[in-house]
Amino acid sequence: MISFCLAVACVRGQSGLRIDTSNYYGYIREGGSINWLRMADAVPVIIEEIRNAGFEAEKIQVGQVQRLDKSTVLVVTVAWQGDKPFGFIYEEGHGLPLRKEDRDFLGDDQREPYSQPEYTAPASVKYQKTGTLPRNVFLLRERCYWFQFDAQGNNYPVNRELAMRILRQDIRAYINREMARSR
């Protein structure tokens, strides 16, 4: 009976954690494996969050090519093409170690230079520098959406479900900022 009560108390303690975008790097645990949300995971979430914010589904585009000038194009992962268009780029790529500083670009004014890979046959890549992203294009980086797991089914605080919630929080923050900016 005592062991049962202790198990229940531990579960409540785990589920009572308030993990969000501001603190999830503090919950990295030793052991287990690390993985990241891939483009195929992120695109449906971005689309769903745009729709949940009240934007029309028929104006959502995936893989939109935007010409920035005569020689520069930008591929926007998911874009909304309404009266005040905006979009998201989900930048693939990740690595170790996991660093909280990887989220620094998510500030109110992401004005850092940006380069996007351009893949050509046969299997070569060059990077196209776009300067800074347009103010209505928001960057999400795969390396920020990590989670832990293992083959034994151990529950890590930052699991895949929580990584999806972190991604949703970031998308909502950008959409809210865009809505406030366009008023």
Residue 113 is predicted with a pLDDT of 80
Residue 11 is predicted with a pLDDT of 30
Give the chain's domain count: 1
Residue 29 is predicted with a pLDDT of 94
Residue 17 is predicted with a pLDDT of 76
Q: Is residue 16 part of a domain?
A: no
Task: Give the DSSP letter string of the chain.
Answer: -HHHHHHHHHHHHHHT----TTTGGGG--SSSEEEE--HHHHHHHHHHHHHHTT--GGGEEEEEEEE-SSS-EEEEEEEE-SSS-EEEEEE----SS--GGGGGGGSS---SEEEEEEEETTTEEEEEEEEEPPTTEEEEEGGGSEEEE-TT----SS-HHHHHHHHHHHHHHHHHHHHHHT-
Q: Is residue 65 part of a domain?
A: yes
Q: Is residue 18 part of a domain?
A: no
Q: Is residue 8 part of a domain?
A: no
- Distance, CA of 23 to CA of 53 (rounded, Å): 25
Q: Which two tokens stand for residue 181?
A: 């900016």
Q: Is residue 40 part of a domain?
A: yes
Residue 159 is predicted with a pLDDT of 96
Q: Is residue 67 part of a domain?
A: yes
- Tens of pLDDT along the chain (183 residues) come to 333 333 332 333 344 679 999 999 999 999 889 999 999 999 999 999 999 999 999 999 999 998 888 878 899 999 999 999 999 999 999 999 999 999 988 865 556 788 788 777 777 777 777 778 888 999 999 999 999 999 887 889 999 999 999 999 999 999 998 888 766
Q: Which two tokens stand for residue 64?
A: 């939109």
Q: Which residue segment(s) compose the domain that 136 sits in?
A: 31-181
Residue 3 is predicted with a pLDDT of 37
Q: Is residue 168 part of a domain?
A: yes
Q: Is residue 4 part of a domain?
A: no
